[in-house]
Structure 1
Amino acid sequence: MASGYRPDIDGLRAVAVLAVIFYHVGITWMPGGFVGVDVFFVISGYVITRGLLREAADGGIGIAAFYARRIRRILPALVATLALTSLAAYWLLLPPQLEDYAASAAASALSVANLYFWRASGYFDAAALYRPLLHTWSLSVEEQFYLVLPVSLLLAVRLRLRPLWLPFGLVALLSLGLSVYAGRYAPTANFYLLPTRAWELLVGTLLAMAPGARGTLPLAIRQTAGLAGLAGILVPALLYTEATPFPGLGALPPCLGAALLIRLGEAEARRAAATRLLAAPPLVAIGLISYSAYLVHWPLIVLGRIALMREFGPSETVAVIGATLVLAALSYRFVERPFRHAPSQPPRLRPVLAAGALATLAMAGLGWAGVASGGLPGRFPDFRLRPVPGTETWNHRTCFLFADQTWQAWDAAACTRTGGKDGLVLLWGDSFAAHYVPGLIRHADRLPGRLVQYTAAGCQPTLGVASHVVPHCRDFNENALALIRRLGIRDVVLAARWGAQRDRDVPDRLRGTVARITALGARVQVVGQSPELPLDPAFLAYHQRRDPPDAAGRWRPVADLHLNEALRAALPATVTFIDPQAALCAGETCPFARGETLLYADTGHFSSAGAALAVERFLDAGLFAPARSAAVVP
């Protein structure tokens, strides 16, 4: 069994890939499905190390042969996916989108996609939803690990290090410690880079190095252990959200759960129920195609959204999942298997390595051509991307803090944005609060005091919020209460991208935060989730360029329409609540342009013109009006 085929491991792969697909397609009951990637890491570390140890026991580790196997296993399906995705991108993506895509395609081909996306964006950013190759970051992490592991293992074997697992265990502990540290001080790097992810792969490596079990554990213990292993994966998948600090210690349950299930499956006799479940034919079938399913699912989702220019409906969600499995099965049958299984005679290594290098360079070259050309603008000669004013008024790094800044970087004098009145109005929130600054300045005469801007990227203005993206968010929010006390602020406006992290606890935290502010004697105004667009407004305007004037400039938003209802219900009747959807939109569509003037700077943030319109509507709807007996509903 130790050297044979393990159907339960394919079943575990199925659990991992389904969790990722369900999460990415937007199924609400699996907000933590991203942990499936961590399960894959553990499986990869185990399977690769087990094979290398078997080679070492048979006479030595062949580095060139190892890389030839990796090329046959990984590259054909990846190249096929990149080729088909690139063809679709050529027809669908406008020049700026294609330019970004081409850069990511080159990075994916060269196994540095994690480095590219680390520098370009965060995994949970709104912009990330429209990057067809974002998911290849995890493949790059694995491929970088494959560059290090066989050489390290070969050296350890030749040096006869005993126990063999010790140096790898020390590296795993260092990597985990670095991940915990980076989770607070460099969260995006923590998510994407090998040094902070290596421990997850090394969990599988250490498991492969562990001695075989002596004797058989009692059935009750094995059954309990199997349930614990499944729970370690499924509970985070069902309960984690994008607000959960991750990876770090948050990745321990799925990684240890996967390791426990793999270990239980090593025993042939009297297998635990969890092992038998994972070895069930339907899960095994999905596990066999899991690599191709992972490759194709995200391009299908992203390009589908771009083609439709909206989110998927329920039937479309099912269709995308079904199409993923069908395409994965075809890829497995006609791409993976022919290249993966070596012929009966020993394979010639040089042609395999040369072909792999050639395919990699060819894909990277095509990506470079797309970037160098600016996204092949000749495909859409009448498209023009113009700058949209708005974010330059946020006062970056002083009044709008970035993830690497603490609240001490904020400056009260510089962030008092209007003058001429007694009293202060505190605008507290994230970028979806900062985008109102141009409008609040524009309508300063209607404010009850001078505007004080207190905003931080990705930091929702609720006390106790945990954010792995902005590790200093909790302290930033606690300091807001000190500001209210110290400056004698009597009006506080809370605004945010409330639905950013699929966090079910937002209404409760908002209620508690409002209570704390009210206890300080300040009046609270809450601005709900503002409408978001499925694509950049410049792209929507281009697609509507031939529409009649009365229809152009409006689009159906993608933000959760029920979120504002939940926020309003959580607030006491004395708190003013403004629903931007109700204030700005008519029917099922919202304005994103007025003539040639764009009201959005990107898919979610208002431009200066949009902020002026929004604040005017909010003021008309009751923002800063005297307290009423019921929350304001525009």
Structure 2
Amino acid sequence: MRSGVRNRQDAFGYRPDIDGLRAFAVLAVVLYHAGIPWMPGGFVGVDVFFVISGYVITRGLLREAAGGGITVAGFYARRVRRILPALLATLVVTSLAAWWLLLPPQLEDYARSATAASLSVSNLYFWRSSGYFDAAALYRPLLHTWSLSVEEQFYLVLPVSLLVILRLRLRPLWLPFAAAAALSFGLSLYAGRYAPTANFYLLPTRAWELLVGTLLAMAPRPARGTAPVVAEAAGLAGLAAILAPALLYGETTPFPGAGALPPCLGAALLIRLGEAPGRRAAATCLLAAAPLVAVGLISYSAYLVHWPLIVLSRIALMRPFTAPEIAALVAATLLLGALSYRFVEQPFRHPPERSPRPSRAPAHRPVLAAGLAASLAMAGLGWAGAASGGWPSRFPDFRVRPVPGTETWNHRTCFLFADQTWQAWDPAACTRTAGKDGLALLWGDSFAAHYVPGLIRHADRLPGNLVQYTAAGCRPTLGVSSHVVPHCRAFNENALALIRRHGIRDVVLAARWGAQRDHVLPDLRETVARVAALGARVHVIGQSPEFPLDPAFLAYRQRHDPPETAGLWHPAIDPGLNDGLRAAVAGLATFIDPLALLCGQAACAYARGDTFLFADTGHFSTAGAEAAVERFLAGGLFGHAVPQPTAMGSAP
């Protein structure tokens, strides 16, 4: 069983450059989640972590195999010591803050995710609960634990697989793992098109990233140093393969799949470069620098605490962060990470030496038993919180009431989901009004669909019968590519055929325009020009108000406010966005600015008395849609504008 691994025994030692690489990974993730605009692809730091984990874990198993044999119980005991204390400490502290801060519906979702995180299945939980209308990801404090669950599930498979392959004396050792990596990568490419949410969250489509590290650990160590010029070029290439995606990727980048190749291969190249004997390349020296190593050492704890800190701060403030607050959050993440490393990670990983036991196996049993008991206890608390509905007795005067709105969208017929193609759209069922000559097409995503109740309510003022053509997450711009909605490009291209085939005279474009703003403006102008070339009149509705929390939570926070301010809140929208959209379509389309028509100078109305104008953080309720469309029609949506002296929330 030792054959094939003995010659690697001298290759195992502490690698400060790997800790430096961990620092790169965690800083990319933290800066991205904190909202640093020049780090839109910082999420690739997770993929770098996967490669590092696969390498380090496999290297440790190979060392154990070379030293006498893999002890599965010992491996899991070490994993328990390494992972569980800091994770459970973070869950306990976060749960205390959540108990104090989160209202019942928020706490109920949090409690379910805490149970899943305790049992290492949070990736499955967020995959199953990531529907289009679920709680916004920005307000789920444990969302980041999905990546930990992926790693922990990988740890269940790797040691057993390696042990079996070694005992069967299969050679070459790396071949089964290479085959598994190829299969996983192929599955990721397929799922990226047909099951993007599963592709993001699940182990089968992420395993290849960890297996890149596994294969790297199995490769023979370089016998001699690389030529200096080659080493320096390789180091720059490795750094660029990580930094370029972090700086250039964004929400519309297809990911993972092929998009994850550059950061994963870049991480592997840097790790491999650090293995070479002799003179170290500049990239390796950079990664081994003391400040980066210090951050790398605390990277696990920093990763654990950063997202709960950001999310709970966002909920407490109920507004976007300022630049000084972002800096404070990053600093607090590093400080809390250092404290967790010093007082939680280290004591459990390196407990005081005790008298030797007669055998190794019994020494692992208390660790495994304690880890299982602690995990089950935390999971039980989470289950209790979910079963209670988020312990509503904490806020006895809080009530959740249903807000009508989305039920009029004709889900899966006129409002398509990510798993549907445009062929699922039904032209007869999606002609929503009758009695007019001609057709008016509403084209866009959910931020177009939320106007349907209002357009139906004011059907007599429309220039034609309303045709609803909407799809979740699909912005109405030609050429758009979305890994979340794989069929979006074809859906939008079909809109042109629809306009041409039915001779549609008026086309209304509406969407959540805020994401990927730099790509929106040129794409929108080209789309409007192509629609106008078909002879249709084009009307563009700009970005509508979005709020930091659901109206029910805002109303609860304002329950003691005077009537003149209750029901009003600052929108979480860049005020210059609609100005850019207006300029992009100037001369080609009518433009409606919802922020100007519906909001005052400082705030927008989310409620009028006891009536909510929004069903969630950004989608109009039925009442809100009716009021908004009335404003838009009066403001010139299909004709001449009529002066409107008051904002929506002030209307009688």
For normalisation by structure 1, the TM-score amounts to 0.97
C-alpha offsets along residues 492-543 of structure 1, whole Å, 9 cap, x if unaligned?
111111123x352111111111111111111111111111010010011111
- Give the deviation of 1:272 after TM superposition: 1.2
Please, which moves more after superposition, 442-451 or 212-221?
A: 212-221
Cα distance in 1, alignment partners of residues 121 and 403 from structure 2? 32
Q: Confirm or deny that 1:467 pairs with 2:466.
A: no
The residue that corresponds to 1:2 in the other structure is 11
The residue that corresponds to 1:324 in the other structure is 333
Please, which moves more after superposition, 314-323 or 594-603?
A: 314-323
Aligned length: 627
CA contact (8 A) 1:525 1:624 kept: yes
- Give the deviation of 1:2 after TM superposition: 2.4
2:118 pairs with one of 109, 120, 127: 109
Matches within 5 A, 1:236-275: 236-275=245-284
The residue that corresponds to 1:186 in the other structure is 195
Cα distance in 1, alignment partners of residues 441 and 579 from structure 2? 24
Cα distance in 2, alignment partners of residues 561 and 272 from structure 1? 47
* 2:262 alignment partner, SS class: helix
Please, which moves more after superposition, 514-523 or 371-380?
A: 514-523
C-alpha offsets along residues 435-481 of structure 1, whole Å, 9 cap, x if unaligned?
01001111111111111000000111111111111000011011001
Q: Confirm or deny that 1:36 pairs with 2:40.
A: no
The residue that corresponds to 2:27 in the other structure is 18
The residue that corresponds to 2:289 in the other structure is 280
2:560 pairs with one of 546, 555, 580: 546
* 1:492 alignment partner, SS class: strand
Matches within 5 A, 1:408-487: 408-487=423-502
- Give the deviation of 1:276 after TM superposition: 0.8
* 1:33 alignment partner, SS class: coil
* 2:275 alignment partner, SS class: coil
CA contact (8 A) 2:528 2:588 kept: no
Q: Confirm or deny that 1:521 pairs with 2:535.
A: yes
Cα gap change, 1:522 to 1:624, in 2 (>3 Å) = same
Cα distance in 2, alignment partners of residues 283 and 571 from structure 1? 47
The residue that corresponds to 1:396 in the other structure is 411
Cα distance in 2, alignment partners of residues 503 and 166 from structure 1? 45
CA contact (8 A) 2:226 2:276 kept: no
Q: Confirm or deny that 1:228 pairs with 2:237.
A: yes
Cα gap change, 1:186 to 1:484, in 2 (>3 Å) = same
CA contact (8 A) 1:122 1:128 kept: no
CA contact (8 A) 1:98 1:375 kept: yes
Structure 1 unaligned segments of length 5 or more: list them: 628-633
Q: Confirm or deny that 1:150 pairs with 2:159.
A: yes
Please, which moves more after superposition, 573-582 or 64-73?
A: 573-582
Q: Confirm or deny that 1:47 pairs with 2:56.
A: yes
Q: Confirm or deny that 1:406 pairs with 2:421.
A: yes
The residue that corresponds to 2:205 in the other structure is 196
The residue that corresponds to 2:4 in the other structure is none
C-alpha offsets along residues 581-611 of structure 1, whole Å, 9 cap, x if unaligned?
1111111210000000000000110000111
CA contact (8 A) 1:94 1:380 kept: yes
Cα gap change, 1:44 to 1:540, in 2 (>3 Å) = same
C-alpha offsets along residues 360-413 of structure 1, whole Å, 9 cap, x if unaligned?
001000000001111001000111100000000000000000000000000001
Matches within 5 A, 1:483-632: 483-500=498-515, 502-625=516-639
**Percentage of pairs with the same residue:** 78
* 1:265 alignment partner, SS class: helix
* 1:451 alignment partner, SS class: strand
Cα distance in 2, alignment partners of residues 334 and 612 from structure 1? 56
Cα gap change, 1:27 to 1:125, in 2 (>3 Å) = farther
* 2:43 alignment partner, SS class: helix
- Give the deviation of 1:561 after TM superposition: 2.0
* 1:548 alignment partner, SS class: coil
Aligned AA for 1:465? Answer: V
C-alpha offsets along residues 287-330 of structure 1, whole Å, 9 cap, x if unaligned?
00000010000000110011111111111111111111100000
Aligned AA for 1:357? Answer: L
- Give the deviation of 1:626 after TM superposition: 6.3
Matches within 5 A, 1:282-321: 282-321=291-330
CA contact (8 A) 1:528 1:577 kept: yes
Matches within 5 A, 1:91-102: 91-102=100-111
Please, which moves more after superposition, 562-571 or 59-68?
A: 562-571
CA contact (8 A) 2:224 2:277 kept: no
* 1:121 alignment partner, SS class: coil
CA contact (8 A) 1:493 1:526 kept: yes
The residue that corresponds to 1:133 in the other structure is 142
Aligned AA for 2:150? Answer: V
For normalisation by structure 2, the TM-score amounts to 0.94
- Over 3 Å off, 4+ runs: 122-126, 342-347
C-alpha offsets along residues 33-87 of structure 1, whole Å, 9 cap, x if unaligned?
1111000000000000000011111111010000000000000000000000000
State the Cα RMSD in Å. Answer: 1.5
CA contact (8 A) 1:242 1:503 kept: no
Cα gap change, 1:124 to 1:550, in 2 (>3 Å) = closer
1:334 pairs with one of 324, 343, 363: 343
Cα distance in 2, alignment partners of residues 259 and 281 from structure 1? 21
Cα distance in 2, alignment partners of residues 280 and 560 from structure 1? 39
- Give the deviation of 1:124 after TM superposition: 12
Cα distance in 2, alignment partners of residues 124 and 159 from structure 1? 50
Aligned AA for 2:395? Answer: F
Cα distance in 1, alignment partners of residues 387 and 133 from structure 2? 28
* 2:518 alignment partner, SS class: coil
- Give the deviation of 1:248 after TM superposition: 0.7
Cα distance in 2, alignment partners of residues 495 and 596 from structure 1? 28
Aligned AA for 2:450? Answer: H
* 2:591 alignment partner, SS class: strand
Cα distance in 1, alignment partners of residues 37 and 545 from structure 2? 19
Please, which moves more after superposition, 564-573 or 316-325?
A: 564-573
Aligned AA for 2:565? Answer: A
Structure 2 unaligned segments of length 5 or more: list them: 1-9, 642-647
C-alpha offsets along residues 558-590 of structure 1, whole Å, 9 cap, x if unaligned?
122222222222223231111111111111210
* 1:550 alignment partner, SS class: coil
Cα gap change, 1:576 to 1:126, in 2 (>3 Å) = farther
